Structure 1
Amino acid sequence: MTHTPESLSSSGRHSGDQGDTKRRRRVPGRVRALLAGGLVLGVGATVTLAAWNDSEFATASFQAGTFNLQGSADGTTFADHASAPGSSLGFSVNASTLSPGDVVYAPYAVRLAANTTSPATVTITAPGTTGTVTGLSYSLIQPTAFGCSSATTGTTLVPAATAVGSVPGSVTFQLAPGTPTTAAGAAVNLCFVVTAGAGLTQSQTGSATWQFQAVSH
């Protein structure tokens, strides 16, 4: 049979199309899988993961408070008397010319100084003595107001007839800081009552120094 050019042309196109189809069909499944996987990876590469994080900080500063005890012999002018002999007590009569039966009185006051941040317990320790204090006894009163005389009343801290140079047991009182702390605390007033007994000897000389020891709490 003789084929016309048209038939050849037609047959050629069909043959080429069939060849391309066969070649496409012959692409191995593994290659197609790789191509498909490549598409998946391409899509995955465009995803950006957001990073979530947060922080909290806390800082504390520490500073120690201040603590200072002051005393006054006149109830007005307060100062530090941190070592013996300290402030001189202002007795109502001349304590250097005592006779048996004489009673002398001396006021005193203590307080916490300005900027003191803690309350305190004050302990009165046994007075240190020099010279001779034989025949002398005392009492210590805590009145509500500053002053000291035979008419003074208040809380008895040291009972009458206590020998000068001793303190019976533990004698304490409380002090509060000022409010605000830039102010001094309220003063605690004290009254020393010293009595000369029959055992006093002529021309004897002596002194006693009481200590007020404040401890913060």
Structure 2
Amino acid sequence: MAAGALVVGLGATYTLATWNDSEWVWGGADGVPGVGTDTFEVQQNTTSPFTDAPADWADRETNPGGGLTFTAGAISLSPGDTVYAPVALRTTAESSSATVTLREAVPAAGVTAVDEDQDLWKSIRVTVYTETRTTPAAPTNACDAANASAWGVPLISDVPLDTAAPATQTVDAEAGSTQHYCFALHLPTTLQPGVAVTALDDLQGRTIAPAWEFRSISG
């Protein structure tokens, strides 16, 4: 019986078992994900004079945005008058840096103005001064008639409202700097190109509501 069993065994087919080994990798280390998205958020501050309380900073990402506080007389301009208003920008504490471009003015959404043929809009000239300060420092000079010119070379100077700024500003990451802007709106003593009126007196009793976008991209 032993010999017969041996003959049967020689006629069988055997396969040697294979060994398996897998290696895995993942995007991260020490239990922390290694792939994700950056945080990017710019906030504005329209206090006048500038203050740096947490409640003074806000996100207002749609037109009309935050209201600028102009110096006295903004709603009752006479030819030759100039009024001023500040605004400041910074990133949030978790944000990457930002490159900011001031766009041209457009009518404020949801605000009714009285300005036939946009003649007052076409007449107003805007100048914007700017200064970068280490957060949370206030601007070196006040945004008013006595001090605005000391801000230095304007970003835009004595141009129509529908003029975008040609240069950009950089706002540091993690609220590391504050970009200050000083808007100056001026009503000239002479008629401006493109207006339908034939005398400055025809601009009396009109109102406009310009809104500006600070368009930011992450740095």
1:109 maps onto 2:82 in alignment: no
The structure that is helix-richer by fraction is 1
Letter in 2 for 1:66: T
Structure 1: gaps (5+ residues): 1-52, 179-183
Letter in 2 for 1:140: V
Identical positions, percent: 25
Matches of 2:76 and 2:160 in 1, distance apart? 19
Tell me the CA shift for residue 185 of structure 1: 3.2
1:148 maps onto 2:115 in alignment: no
- Match of 2:194? none
- Match of 2:188? 197
1:81 maps onto 2:60 in alignment: yes
User: For each residue in 1:174-196, what CA deviation from the matched residue of structure 2 results, as whole angstroms up to 9, or x when unmatched?
Assistant: 11112xxxxx3321111011111
- Match of 2:216? 214
Matches of 2:62 and 2:122 in 1, distance apart? 25
Matches within 5 A, 1:1-217: 59-60=27-28, 61-74=34-47, 75=50, 76=52, 77-116=56-95, 118-129=96-107, 131=115, 132=118, 133-143=121-131, 144=133, 145-146=138-139, 147-150=142-145, 151-152=147-148, 153-167=150-164, 170-178=166-174, 184-198=175-189, 199=191, 201-217=203-219
Compute the RMSD of aligned alpha carbons.
2.3
Report the count of equivalent residues. Answer: 159
CA contact (8 A) 1:165 1:208 kept: no
CA contact (8 A) 2:124 2:185 kept: yes
Per mean C-alpha deviation after superposition, the further-off stretch among 122-131 and 107-116 is 122-131
Matches of 1:122 and 1:135 in 2, distance apart? 27
Matches of 2:125 and 2:87 in 1, distance apart? 18
Letter in 2 for 1:167: A
User: For each residue in 1:57-98, what CA deviation from the matched residue of structure 2 results, as whole angstroms up to 9, or x when unmatched?
Assistant: 564221211111110111331100100111111111131100
Matches of 2:81 and 2:129 in 1, distance apart? 18
CA contact (8 A) 1:157 1:171 kept: no
Matches of 1:124 and 1:107 in 2, distance apart? 14
Scaled by the length of structure 1, the TM-score of the pair is 0.65
